[in-house]
Amino acid sequence: MQERVGSVIRWAAWLCLSMMLWTAAVESTHNHPSQTESTSCSICVVAHSTAPTASSNHVRPVFAAIGLLQEEEVVAKPRLDVFDFGIRGPPTV
């Protein structure tokens, strides 16, 4: 069963790859018999358009202190003592 799923995935991958290569080849080599058809072709319009310029309307970040961190020392308190387990503590010297 797993071999069948693996072969299906492999075939799908090869199909997608071949379609992608075929599409790239067709897009780069297609031509139009008249100029009017090329003006309505989306591939030609994109190919002959100018390079897009990067535009951004992002506001620059403002860094401001909004508070002061108050650190408090935390001391963990054990819930169980060693003797609660019935285990002998370390020998005292």
The amino acid at 49: S
The structure tokens 């992608």 sit at 20
DSSP 73-91: ------SS-GGGGT---PP
CB-wise, 16 or 27, nearer to Zn ion? 27
Segment lying near Zn ion (by CB under 5 A), choices 12-20, 36-44, 54-62, 63-71:
36-44
Q: Which of 15, 24, 26, 43 binds Zn ion (CB under 5 A)?
A: 43
Q: What's CA 3's distance to the chain center, in Å?
A: 30
Which residue's Cβ lies closest to Zn ion?
41
- Where along the sequence are the contacts to Zn ion (CB under 5 A)? 41, 43-44
